[in-house]
Amino acid sequence: MACQRQDNEAVAAAQLIAERGLEGLGDAVSMLINEAMRLERERHLTAAPYERSLQRTGYANGYKPKTVKSRIGALELAVPQVREGGFYPTSLERGLRSERALKLALAEMYVSGVSTRKVARVT
């Protein structure tokens, strides 16, 4: 059952790109990251949603919205949560609000002495 849902999410992301082209890339990436985080939570809990299992290590507790800025635009993500805590998706860093590449670029500009006027022209 989980495999079928995963296939549906991948197909939906591909259709979004096919329909909207590069403008739909951000939404498609958000869909794929959300699905990857959901699957990671399933592995962490060792049970699918609504599955009764003796190996289950906890229970899902909904999603928390998070916006991450990236090179392809703002990604609206739904970070899965568990009741007991102790779970955070490995694809995200805690407190991450923008992509690492942006931070590295800003640090490099600071070291090389780029003025704020030059930065304003680029952005």
Question: Range with the lowest mean pLDDT among 29-38, 88-97, 112-121?
Answer: 112-121
Both structure tokens of 46: 């060792």
pLDDT of residue 62: 92
Q: Are residues 69 and 110 in the same domain?
A: no
* Containing structural domain, residue 121: 98-123
Q: Are residues 110 and 79 in the same domain?
A: no
What single-letter DSSP state applies at residue 47?
Answer: S
Question: What's the structural domain count of the chain?
Answer: 2
Q: Is the pTM of this model over 0.85?
A: no
Task: Please say if the pLDDT value at position 40 is more than 60.
Answer: yes
pLDDT of residue 123: 55
pLDDT of residue 116: 64
